[in-house]
Structure 1
Amino acid sequence: MIKNILTGLFILGLTACSGTPEAPVQQAMPVETYLVSESEIPNIVELPGRVEAVRVADVRARVTGIVQRRLYEEGSNVKAGQPLFSIDPSELRASTAQVKASLERARATAANAQAVVDRYRPLVAEQAISQQEYDAAVAASREAQASVAQIRAELDAANLQLGYTTVRAPIGGRVRSAEVTEGALVSASEATLLTRIEQASRVYVTFAQSSSRILDIRRGITDGSIILNENDRAEVELIFEDGTEYPIPGQIDFLDFSVNETTGTVTLRAEFANPSGLLLPGEFVRARIFVGKKKGGFVVPQKAVTLSETGGTVMVIDNDGNAAIRPVELGAMTGAMWIIEGGLNAGDQVIVSNLQKIQPGIPVIAKPAPNGSGHNGASAATKPQASPSASKPEKEAAR
């Protein structure tokens, strides 16, 4: 009897030892979240642009001759009318002297013809000479006066050409290096380029936006999803190649109303003050154009976004209460928030804490974020900081 009991207990022990133990339930990790909701956000367009001087003048030869001297310092600022080059005037001086001599001869001829008229006038009244002879004398006098006027105009032209031997700055600005040196033969017929002057105290920055984006903005204004600024102006900020911002904002001052047939783009232009000369003509920059505000936009905190070569991602809480990776299309930055162009929906909970510890698929539980950072982002700032992608076209394009 006792033997049977011991045998039964032994069998029960073996059965208990051979059972598979249940896996422990993983505890949900508490995380701070940001609730995604629709809000009114700045409508920011990011485009590459090129800096251009407001005024550019090519200084070219207007007479043919040999360059004697360069009269300016290359790279300096010059005033309008300042001498830049001296071209040998010897040949033009000789031509001018010939025209002066012809003018004196014509004047003498005209004076003699007028004297004949003065002598004939009383004689024709006395019928001492015929009316025909008097009329011929008057005609000769008028012809001589016309010859004087013609040669005087030739002298003015010769003096003008002689003045062109001193090449002057047509506008004020910074003058580039000389394209010719002393001793070079320059030609008026070929309009030899001598140098170039750029007026860059104010500069233009030109951009090209796709016609489809222009259409998007026009539709947005029509359906009310984009609200234009009250002053009807589009402000522009510039970013240099090293990521620093140009401190003076500009404004869009030109929009082309035709589409480039080759590129399918529309040209826009902004004007900027450039008192310190930081913006150099020909330089490439990136511009942020503020085109009013857009309704129904999404923003998330900067710390919630992970950037990679393929774009941006965020961690969200899925329907099962687990962490999940969500690719998002990033727009510009506004304050400390990323504008989200796609990938999120209203009501999504974006994780903003413990991102280094969280792996996709692990259970998480939302907890209130400090300082209200878990609420929606309707109060996004209006000044952006950076952006990996362009948004919509310029505001004035909408008109």
Structure 2
Amino acid sequence: MAVGLLLSACNEKAASPAPPSAQMPVSVVSLRPQPVAITAELPGRVSASLVAEVRPQVNGIIKSRLFKEGGEVTAGTVLYEIDPASYQASYDSSAAALQKAEAAVPSAQAKLDRYRDLVRQSAVSKQDLDDAISALAQANADVASAKASLATAKINLDYTKVVAPIGGRIDKSSLTPGALVTASQTDALTTIRQLDPINVDITQSSTNLLKFRSALAEGRLKLSGPNVAVKLRLDTGTLYNQDGRFEFAEANVDQTTGTFTLRAEFPNPDRLLLPGMYARAILQEGIAENSYLVPQRAVGRNTKGEATAKFVNKDGKVEERVLVTRRTIGNNWLVDTGLSDGDRVIVEGGQLVRVGQTVTANEVTIDEASGELRPAAQRAAAETDTPGTVKN
């Protein structure tokens, strides 16, 4: 009887169900489709919007320099004065020649008028009248020639004052007063650069251009608008405080590097940007509609090198999916296929669970700046209490 009771107790113990095991908690983020701005950060060089090398147009001795080296000048400002003595004398001579030519015109005109009356009376021959007409035409031609010579002399006299062709920052002077200069010499007297606005020449690869156009053709990307905004990251890593605008793209690709040049224009009122500086331009290429941003911390790689992530399905079980990632956006991967609205991706605890396991999913959000996980309810309450907060 004792043995029977013992066996019956063992059978009852074996038949009793095992206590349910505790479900592993994991942190998940719910994914929502959204339009994502696609940007590209490209290397570039700052260049002046206008550059003018100042050279003399006449020969002579520099009499004076009238600008401060390294300062700002405006268009039309006199920079150098070349000794004008010989050019002033040439101008005066041309002015006197014009007066002499003009003085001969009234006499020739009067002679022609008299000969016309005398021809009617047959007092002079027709040949004499033709000579009078020719003499008046010659006198008028002499006046025109003298006026042209006077204009040339005036131009050369004005060229003795070397003026700034554009406004901007002026470099140092290559010559000092007393130096001899020649017309259109090879060496520039100085150089002026317009720094506001200023250009940034950006280098883009032809491969990226083809990918961009393919995305447009397939509908994965649409243009953000006719006016493309450009931001600038300086060599120190900080963002420039002025936004620029896209100007144009070259129509040819460099055969050596396989790149082409884009140009953006930036305001530069404080002259912070100087020609030759290195910078990185951030261009908004377009908008990817109905895309998903998957946190990078949730994405791993399988043995084939494919991007994978673990999700919690509607039944509370873990499943793993292969993702097709396009690029990084901040701390996220951009994914535009293979996901649905409301999918819950595991961002913490994924290493401790296996596919098919039932888990407890705790909804969280990720601070994009610090990467810190926060309960979704806590963030919603904070956004409700804080006026003016824009929800992501």
- Shorter-chain TM-score above 0.5: yes
1:126 aligned to 121, 124, 128, which one? Answer: 121
Give the secondary-structure state (helix, strand or coil) at the position aligned to 1:368. strand
State the distance in 2 between where 1:366 and 1:68 align: 89
Q: Does 1:75 align with 2:107?
A: no
**1:217 match:** 212
Distance 2:256 2:94 in 1: 55
1:300 touches 1:340 (CA, 8 Å); kept in 2? yes
Matched with 2:175 is 180
How far apart, in 2, do the equivalents of 1:186 and 1:29 lie?
Answer: 88
TM-score of the superposed pair, with normalisation by structure 2: 0.70
Which string of whole-angstrom CA distances, capped at 9 and with x for unpartnered residues, describes residues 165-186 of structure 1? 1011222222222232222222
* Aligned with residue 143 of structure 1, among 118, 130, 138: 138
SS in 2 for 1:288: strand
2:190 corresponds in structure 1 to: 195
Whether the 8 Å CA contact 1:92–1:158 is kept in 2: the answer is: yes
Unmatched 5+ stretches in structure 2: 1-22, 300-306, 312-317, 319-324, 367-372, 377-392
CA distance in 2, matches of 1:215, 1:48: 18
Deviation, 1:366, is: 8.3
The yes-or-no answer on 1:117 pairing with 2:112 is yes
Higher-RCO chain (CA-CA 8 Å, sequence separation at least 6): 1
1:228 counterpart (223, 231, 237): 223
Residues 146, 164 of structure 1: alpha-carbon distance in 2 compared, 3 angstrom cutoff: same
Match of 2:160 among 150, 162, 165: 165
Whether the 8 Å CA contact 1:239–1:245 is kept in 2: the answer is yes
Corresponding residue for residue 149 of structure 2: 154
Q: Would you say how many aligned residue pairs link Structure 1 and Structure 2?
A: 329
Q: CA RMSD in A?
A: 3.9
For residues 212 and 167 of structure 2, the distance between their equivalents in structure 1, rounded to whole angstroms, comes to 40
Give yes or no for contact 1:30–1:366 (8 Å, CA) kept in 2. Answer: yes
Cα separation, partners in 2 of 1:246 and 1:114, compared to 1, 3 Å: same
What is aligned with 2:276? 282
Q: 1:387 maps to what in 2?
A: none
CA distance in 2, matches of 1:128, 1:192: 69
Q: Give yes or no for contact 1:34–1:349 (8 Å, CA) kept in 2.
A: yes
Return the offset for 1:38. 7.5
Distance 1:302 1:220, change over 3 A: closer
Deviation at 1:48, TM superposition (A): 0.7
Match of 2:237 among 240, 243, 258: 243
Find the residue that maps to 2:150 and give its secondary structure: helix
1:258 to 252, 259, 268: 252
Q: Check 1:50–1:164 CA distance in 2 against 1; reply closer, same or farther (3 A cut).
A: same
> 1 CA distance for matches of 2:92 and 2:197?
45
Partner Cα separation in structure 1 for residue 153 and residue 275 of structure 2: 38
What letter is aligned with 2:270? S
Range 239-248 or range 93-102, more displaced: 93-102
Query: Does the aligned pair in 1 maintain the 2:295–2:333 contact within 8 Å?
Result: no
Q: What do residues 25-65 of structure 1 show as CA deviations (whole Å, max 9, x unaligned)?
A: xxx99774667898643211110111222222222211121
Whole-Å separation in 1 of the counterparts to 2:273 and 2:360:
49
The code of the aligned residue for 1:128 comes to: A
After superposition, give the CA deviation of every residue in 1:304-361 in whole Å (9 maximum; x if it has no partner).
89xxxxxxxx99779xx9xxxxxx996452xxx34469xxx968966558xxxx9xx8
2:230–2:281 CA contact under 8 A, matched in 1: yes
